[in-house]
Structure 1
Amino acid sequence: MKKLMVLVVVACLIMAWVELFFVPDYIVKSFIKLIIFLLLPFIYIRYFTKLSFKDLFSLKVKNLKVSSILAVGVFIIILSAYFSVGGFFDLSNITVMLEENIGVSKSNFLFVAIYIALVNSLLEEFFFRGFAFLALLKLSTRRLAYLFSAGMFSIYHIAMMTDWFSIWLFLLILVSLFVAGLLFNWLDEKTDSILPSWLVHVSANISINLIGIMLFELI
């Protein structure tokens, strides 16, 4: 249990270092993240346990009903929040930080948005829900698994969002990420699969990417 938790923390620290000090462009950062979020779980499975991850991708249509409803709800809530209160916050700095820090610009944002919505979301669900939650759930208490996975999921995003928002909006987003992590854990615990949370995660990313498209004035 401790080894698993340490590996999760190490992975998040490595990605924080990449975000804050190495600061590569988005393609390089995505490649590093792909290696770290797949390699460390593999090391744990190979040398410390006999846990299998093949069931994490099991698909049962009946188990996706709640997730589908939540996915639609999250999509509507995020866009509604942007249109209703977005004007009270200065979001102009987001596109500047994306261009200056990781090379995401108006010209390549659509490609990045598709990658984030489908591939990056699946990678995060595998790591934070499949590894940091479902695998940990078999080795620890339910309370610890829930809090650790959701906590690391929200903390992980701190480095990538530095200087993007005002402090109050930043804190609001962190709390929202923690709550989202708890919700994702609950969905996956019911099915022992990461697909329910991935569906909601994809929906959330699509709505956020639509906001990004508007900020980049692509529509």
Structure 2
Amino acid sequence: MKRLLIIHICLIAVISCSGLFIIEQILDVNYYIKTGAKAFFFLVIPVLYIRFVLKLTVKESFNIEKVRWRSVRLGLLFGGLAFILILVAYWLLQGFLDTDAIVYDIKVRSGITTETFIFIGLYITFGNSLMEEFYFRGFVFLNLYKTGAKVFAHVFSALLFALYHTAIFATWFNVWLMFVALVGLFTAGILFNWLNTYSKNFLNSWIFHILADVAIILIGLNLMEIL
């Protein structure tokens, strides 16, 4: 049963992320269609699998029935540090970024305007972060971790998380900066996983993710000349 669960989770994860990569980089669709596809792959499929294959509710599967404030302290602490580090890194490395490519990606490929950016930013901060944490740390990592394959769970979910994001910023960086970004994302994935081993749910990493996304949205507001 454990081996079958590992196979199922890995297959679903690879197929889902590959599908989203195709939608992000190959198909010419706007941000709203991409968001719908992401919700299907990252929420609908996992929930159906949990409900009808594992025979569990989402609350039971991810241990979120009883949550105490003290259990999410680490998420707040590390999220605050990430917020500061991201802004400092942007200030130090902005000369190496292809800002025109980033703005083009936001405005033309994704169809986001200066008028809608703030609303999209709110969705990214709270909705998109929830989907990614539910998927990468909840559905993928915690399910694999429960099988006893702890090292594999950490490495696979963190690597998948890092590679998935290449679909988002594939045209933004040069090769070396892309490598640095991937290493950073992989490290963040490992840290997210570690945080969640304490609470046995994905709330710590979600709080961390929210605070990191706030910093990224502030950078986006600056690039879009809104802030």
**Alignment partner of 1:212 out of 201, 220, 227:** 220
Question: What amino acid is aligned across from residue 28 of structure 1 in structure 2?
Answer: I
Q: Is residue 5 from structure 1 mapped to residue 10 from structure 2 by the alignment? A: yes
Measured after TM superposition, the shift of residue 158 of structure 1 is 1.3
Secondary structure at the aligned position of 1:107 is classed as coil
Residue 91 of structure 1 and its aligned partner are, at CA, apart by 2.3
Matched AA of 2:25: L
Question: Post-superposition shift, 1:140?
Answer: 4.1
* Stretch of structure 1 that moved more, 3-12 or 43-52: 43-52
Measured in 1, the distance between the counterparts of 2:226 and 2:149 equals: 47
Name the counterpart of 2:163: 155
**1:100 deviation in Å?**
1.7
Amino acid at match of 2:36: F
**By how many angstroms is 1:51 displaced?**
4.5
**Partner of residue 23 from structure 1, selected from 25, 28, 38:** 28
Structure 2 match to 1:169: 177
1:48, CA displacement in angstroms? 3.2
1:100-152 deviations in Å (ceiling 9; x for gaps): 21112222111111100000000100000000100111124100000011011
If the length of structure 2 is used for normalisation, what is the TM-score? 0.91
What is the percentage of aligned positions where both structures have the same residue?
A: 36
Separation (CA, whole Å) in 1 of partners of 2:109 and 2:183: 24
Aligned residue for 1:22, secondary structure, equals coil
Match of 1:53 among 51, 58, 68: 58
Change over 3 Å in CA distance of 1:140–1:101 after alignment to 2: farther
Residue range with higher mean Cα deviation, 80-89 or 184-193: 80-89
Query: Residue 197 of structure 2 aligns to which amino acid in structure 1?
Result: E
Is 1:111 the counterpart of 2:119? The answer is yes
Q: CA RMSD in A?
A: 1.5
Cα distance change on mapping 1:31 and 1:167 into 2, 3 Å: same
The answer on whether the counterparts of 1:51 and 1:135 sit within 8 Å (CA) in structure 2 is no
User: Are residues 63 and 205 of structure 1, via their aligned partners in 2, closer, same or farther at CA, if it must alter by over 3 Å?
Assistant: same
TM-score (norm 1): 0.94
Kept in 2, the 8 Å contact 1:95–1:105? The answer is no
Q: Partner residue of 1:14?
A: 19
What does residue 34 of structure 1 align with?
Answer: 39
CA contact (8 A) 2:47 2:58 kept: no
**1:97 aligned residue:** 105
Asked if 1:198 is matched to 2:203, the reply is no
- Count of residues paired in the alignment: 219
Q: Distance in 1 between matches of 2:20 and 2:205?
A: 22
Of residues 102, 120, 144, the one that matches 1:136 is: 144
Taking the aligned partners of 2:146 and 2:187, their CA distance within structure 1 comes to 22
> Contact 1:11 / 1:40 at 8 angstroms: preserved in 2?
no
- Select between 184-193 and 46-55 the one with higher mean Cα deviation: 46-55
Q: Which secondary structure does the structure 1 equivalent of 2:26 belong to?
A: helix
Is the 8 Å Cα contact of residues 74 and 203 (structure 1) preserved in structure 2? Answer: yes
CA distance in structure 2 between the partners assigned to 1:46 and 1:71 by the alignment: 31
